[in-house]
Amino acid sequence: MNLPAAEALLPDGRWMDAAALLTGAPVVAYCGSGITACVHVLAMELAGLPPAVLYPGSYSDWVSS
């Protein structure tokens, strides 16, 4: 499942509450370069959600492989 930040994590300029973000599945965060995804992983941790995995190569690495 793809969960774009602008559409899902920041509706009306606010973070969704933790209960709304629970997926029941492991989460892997990635973005274009790996930088923005770090913010999402940190936000999930601060919200008390299960740990997420950061794919540091992100889209740039995946496309070039």
pLDDT of residue 11: 63
Q: Is the pTM of this model over 0.75?
A: no
**DSSP-based three-state secondary structure for 55:** coil
pLDDT of residue 7: 65
% of the chain surpassing 70 pLDDT: 82
Report whether 54 contacts 29 (CB < 8 A).
yes
Catalytic residue selected from 31, 37, 52, 54 = 31
Nearest to 6 by CA among 38, 62, 41, 15: 15
38 annotated active-site: no
Q: Would the pLDDT of 37 be above 70?
A: yes
